Structure 1
């Protein structure tokens, strides 16, 4: 009898041991492991694979593309001049989908389809629903990362020569022991002026809103969403994080919308401040409370606007360093809040009837997020951890007061921070933390800013949670810029592997050159861009005014409206250019301009004239203008070809010219 028990016990132990072994999987060893299938992660994985490296892309969730496929269809860019390489290719693929050259507004599923097409072309395997739990190192070299599935029923590990952390949270970076920052630096730390605590009028509540549940009765307690903190000194640092929200995709198409119904955890008391805001400020349309941006096919990208909106202010401070369970609670709270807000606006009797009617014209889109109850899979993690790398990007870099020489991408957006806290100031409810400071040219982002200190990690690159102060990160943290930095990080990884060096010791000049010469990582010909600021290839006649804002690149030219056809701006490509090219000119978005722009194209043998009519150019989104096609032209390598914009007429703009090689 005893022997049978011993045998049975041994048999059970053997089964359990085998089960444990089966649960832990080594997902091979790779040249490059990319963690986080955000837009940057997809581009990084694709790039490394295109250069012949074995790559694994790991995604904690179920989808690729991050915010770019998660509802952020109104691309925040500032100036297209800053975007290059595969990021630019992505927006051109978006354009092709919608029948245009480029397009910067799009539906979520269109973006995800394009990201998946990149991965399919490069044959990059994606390991979904796995998240990093720990990192193994030998000295300053990461040898292996350990993973778990969200249900923790299986664990695994991945070995690689170089790791790239493209997550919004910087989890791999943090677990690798790399230094990082959460929150806001004091202005005094880097000599900045827009960091730290900021009480401004941006996205602010009107004066006079009572903060208490019972108006005038402090004993009744504060309304939901108001902290009991005290306003700190302007510019002082803290660990508070700018607000998160969802970028909401809804549909107005009756055939493609699902009604917005009361969510399970509906708490109408969470929106009392919206009612009090309405009492102080007349609510005329949905646009007074939401940035209600229209996307193709009757859809939206809805964002936060004014004092009370989709931002869940002060509810995310713990998120960056929280464990996975706590983060899921924060995500769920944001989902409940946002779905509840949409329902509240459409159904609460205190909301004006015309606003309720306007809201109820919209519903969740049937053709988006089909595996997630038609709700986005990505919370907008505007900022979490920020690495303290070999160089810290600051306000001074954004404003051009400091210029780096190891630039591997550019940024151009306003220094932007959403509010961090909602509190009582002088007896009134106020939001604190909003910053919107722009007015500067595109600027380079240092390679050292995506590189940890070598003593901390010699084979890790961090293009998303990069090294920047809170306020500089507010300018850099845009999806197209993340894609540019993801591509740069991948090529740097390739160079480190080929050169058997740390990522810190690669030849950055060679990296910069290769990014320029092989922008799509596939050997295809680079575009020929001639900006008006290129004095060696641009000739001017007549009177033109230099305009510093609103065009492509740092500036553009505007005619004085008094000259005749002898006034022109002429762009010269290489006189030995050969082959067939599509030619575009940049049509700047101006409040007033001539109804007709005349352009001449000389291919070295024949002169052709093209007329651009203002009412035929549709400038959409947050961009500074649109590329307008002049036609397809074949160059033979003879003559002296040029493109010329004539200054005849009122307020004619002359900006950049682009030549795109074509095999047609």
Structure 2
């Protein structure tokens, strides 16, 4: 964790110790790869250790193994510290709600268990080395710009919120918002939406694209416990005019107290994750004042960061002290302060600016609003054959403009949320693979439109993408191929084996540990290939011969699926050695008529087919069709197929 390492080579370099970067490094290390994790600041853990303690996720069911590990670590912390029946355990909501310091302890604990990870803070990217389009090495400066170091690696991952490494390496990227027309996104571009439940769209919502970036802020860790409270400070300089609209909002009944200005969500031990309030026109977001952040050099970025901090500190001071506010309002606000046991190294103020959106690379696939909505004619979001993670949070965006008459004192332009339209979705591998740069994956500043990033940009999703990226790098090194050429099917095999989720079903329980249930694993894999047109896997239901035949035809086109035998055509197939005669086959019911009357696949016939499959593919498996089974379930059939398909792929790779 020092800057003493100079001109050293690693298997993988991860730039950015965000949750995605940490997950990527862990995945790589667990597969035996020497991994260097570089963080340009002194702070590790990104937003999860900087105040974002109320996880942006609708359900843990849609989260992959690495985030589950984190959540289990949080739950274990509170259980060991306070007892299984404690208030703190209840308040942590199964590990989804946590204090910043606890998140730091859990993430650092995950890192400490990995002997192959070298973590270095304060390593600011200064230069990249490329050969043709291949990223080969990077140069970094230490704290204060001193002691430059050069690091080379076989492969790289950019896990920064800003996409700094990808941009410096020459990857194309987008900034701002697309228009409705560019990708056919209904809510793209200029939009005035009432964030209240009605979600009314106001006139002036014309949908043009622009270079605007959704607002940044800080996720404050506040408390009203007098024994753990640090008073708010008045920033210097203090600009009262920034907040001068609030007294009128109070007089006109739009806000009544500090909780109407800040969205103060409880986390354990009497603290809050205090965010911008959706209904307040003057909250902790600072629209229109982050345009100069993304492309700026580090020193200029610090000025933008300080501007945001000064704004938020001024807001807090205003709420407690401005005499134009009612005394009752000020007294209510006066109960609150910064948590004294958090962020001591940064004056009890969060160290990380909430960069919700910055650069978005142009990759092999562009994820849009439409990828997170129900596909036309289907019962689920669009299927992606190269899915490597799933997401489940409503598409949203924070404001891109300050208060205007068009917003009617209700809406800020650009602020939106689509909870009734957003479906649980798959995220394709191609979103992480940048155009025009080799040997690099980008799991945070992914290839997405502004609207598409509006749901991907949540830390649990970014962690899953980071974990997938780290696994992809390790597998590429093992197979001797580039990350662009990597067999995504092989990657999916590896991810499913370690608890990653790549397809969601409402009726198939999630798994978060290695192995999982073979039928569930198989369904998740085949769910990326179009076998299911809705969110029902129905794994316990009998499989029909029509379904089985269609699945076989589809699987034959997959990596490793060539040569998969078809089902036996006859429902009356006898074993060798049994005399078929006497028999008048032309007088018997024709097979199509038989299958119409008896649609389910008989176990005996399935066993014959499975034996033929093992013979054709030269593989065997532990999952089989039981002799005493009344029928073959969909889950059993898919599990048999997937186990053998995966073995065949692995065998083919080893033979090469």
TM above 0.5, yes or no, is yes
- 1:178 paired with 2:171, answer yes
- Bigger mean CA offset, 433-442 vs 387-396: 433-442
Partners of 2:53 and 2:408 in 1: CA distance: 35
Aligned partners of 2:141 and 2:148 also within 8 Å: yes
How many angstroms does 1:363 deviate by? Answer: 1.5
Partners of 1:425 and 1:350 in 2: CA distance: 23
**Secondary structure, in 3 states, of the residue corresponding to 2:426?**
strand
Partners of 2:492 and 2:185 in 1: CA distance: 29
- 1:140 paired with 2:151, answer no
How many angstroms does 1:256 deviate by? Answer: 1.4
2:151 maps to which of 149, 158, 166: 158
How many angstroms does 1:355 deviate by? Answer: 2.1
Residue of structure 2 equivalent to 1:495: 475
Residue of structure 1 equivalent to 2:415: 434
| CA displacement, residues 495-523 of structure 1 (integer Å, 9 cap, x when unaligned) | 111222111111111111111112389x9
**Alignment: residue pair count:** 492
- 1:512 paired with 2:492, answer yes
Residue of structure 1 equivalent to 2:44: 64
| CA displacement, residues 374-410 of structure 1 (integer Å, 9 cap, x when unaligned) | 1111110000000110000011111032321110001
- After superposition, the Cα gap between the structure-2 partners of 1:40 and 1:135, relative to the gap in structure 1 and judged at 3 Å, is same
Partners of 1:424 and 1:287 in 2: CA distance: 23
1:366 maps to which of 340, 353, 375: 340
| CA displacement, residues 273-331 of structure 1 (integer Å, 9 cap, x when unaligned) | 22232233343232221111111001010011121100011110121111111210110
Residue of structure 2 equivalent to 1:468: 448
- Bigger mean CA offset, 493-502 vs 479-488: 493-502
Partners of 1:279 and 1:150 in 2: CA distance: 49
Residue of structure 2 equivalent to 1:406: 386
Residue of structure 2 equivalent to 1:483: 463
| CA displacement, residues 91-127 of structure 1 (integer Å, 9 cap, x when unaligned) | 1111112225932110000001111111110032211
| CA displacement, residues 179-226 of structure 1 (integer Å, 9 cap, x when unaligned) | 10010011111111111111222289xxxxxxxxxxxxxxxxxxxxxx
Aligned partners of 2:464 and 2:500 also within 8 Å: no
Partners of 2:233 and 2:167 in 1: CA distance: 40
Residue of structure 2 equivalent to 1:284: 256
Q: How does 1:33-112 map to 2 (within 5 A)?
A: 33-99=13-79, 102-112=94-104
How many angstroms does 1:55 deviate by? Answer: 0.6
How many angstroms does 1:27 deviate by? Answer: 4.5
Partners of 1:399 and 1:52 in 2: CA distance: 38
Residue of structure 2 equivalent to 1:553: none
Partners of 1:260 and 1:24 in 2: CA distance: 39
1:417 maps to which of 397, 403, 412: 397
Aligned partners of 1:246 and 1:378 also within 8 Å: yes
Structure 1 runs of 4+ with >3 Å offset: 423-430, 523-534
Aligned partners of 1:385 and 1:465 also within 8 Å: yes
Residue of structure 1 equivalent to 2:353: 379
How many angstroms does 1:371 deviate by? Answer: 1.1
TM-score (norm 1): 0.70
1:31 maps to which of 7, 11, 16: 11
Residue of structure 2 equivalent to 1:443: 425
Residue of structure 1 equivalent to 2:184: 191
Aligned partners of 1:79 and 1:442 also within 8 Å: no
Aligned partners of 1:27 and 1:156 also within 8 Å: yes
**Secondary structure, in 3 states, of the residue corresponding to 2:94?**
coil
Residue of structure 2 equivalent to 1:327: 301
Partners of 2:516 and 2:269 in 1: CA distance: 31
Residue of structure 1 equivalent to 2:105: 113
- After superposition, the Cα gap between the structure-2 partners of 1:173 and 1:203, relative to the gap in structure 1 and judged at 3 Å, is farther
How many angstroms does 1:57 deviate by? Answer: 0.5
Partners of 1:39 and 1:435 in 2: CA distance: 25
2:538 maps to which of 535, 538, 551: 535
- Bigger mean CA offset, 313-322 vs 511-520: 511-520
- After superposition, the Cα gap between the structure-2 partners of 1:332 and 1:203, relative to the gap in structure 1 and judged at 3 Å, is farther
- 1:526 paired with 2:515, answer yes
| CA displacement, residues 211-263 of structure 1 (integer Å, 9 cap, x when unaligned) | xxxxxxxxxxxxxxxxxxxx986111111100000000012222211112322
Partners of 2:282 and 2:246 in 1: CA distance: 6
**Secondary structure, in 3 states, of the residue corresponding to 2:224?**
coil
Aligned partners of 1:93 and 1:102 also within 8 Å: no
- Bigger mean CA offset, 79-88 vs 419-428: 419-428
| CA displacement, residues 620-645 of structure 1 (integer Å, 9 cap, x when unaligned) | xxxxxxxxxxxxxxxxx9x99xxxxx
Residue of structure 2 equivalent to 1:242: 214
Partners of 1:354 and 1:538 in 2: CA distance: 62
- After superposition, the Cα gap between the structure-2 partners of 1:232 and 1:131, relative to the gap in structure 1 and judged at 3 Å, is farther
- After superposition, the Cα gap between the structure-2 partners of 1:38 and 1:490, relative to the gap in structure 1 and judged at 3 Å, is same
Aligned partners of 2:497 and 2:516 also within 8 Å: no
Task: Structure 1: state its 5+ residue gaps.
Answer: 1-22, 205-230, 540-636, 641-664
Residue of structure 2 equivalent to 1:545: none
Partners of 1:59 and 1:367 in 2: CA distance: 24
Partners of 1:86 and 1:503 in 2: CA distance: 21
Partners of 2:337 and 2:184 in 1: CA distance: 47
How many angstroms does 1:524 deviate by? Answer: 6.5
Partners of 2:333 and 2:269 in 1: CA distance: 17
Partners of 1:425 and 1:27 in 2: CA distance: 57
Task: Structure 2: state its 5+ residue gaps.
Answer: 80-88, 198-202, 376-381, 502-511, 524-534, 543-625, 630-656
**Secondary structure, in 3 states, of the residue corresponding to 2:6?**
strand
* Superposed CA RMSD: 2.7
Aligned partners of 1:277 and 1:308 also within 8 Å: no
- Bigger mean CA offset, 427-436 vs 494-503: 427-436
- After superposition, the Cα gap between the structure-2 partners of 1:347 and 1:457, relative to the gap in structure 1 and judged at 3 Å, is same
Partners of 1:504 and 1:435 in 2: CA distance: 35
**Secondary structure, in 3 states, of the residue corresponding to 2:412?**
strand
How many angstroms does 1:78 deviate by? Answer: 2.2
| CA displacement, residues 603-631 of structure 1 (integer Å, 9 cap, x when unaligned) | xxxxxxxxxxxxxxxxxxxxxxxxxxxxx
How many angstroms does 1:167 deviate by? Answer: 0.4
How many angstroms does 1:176 deviate by? Answer: 0.5
How many angstroms does 1:163 deviate by? Answer: 0.4
Partners of 1:358 and 1:311 in 2: CA distance: 21
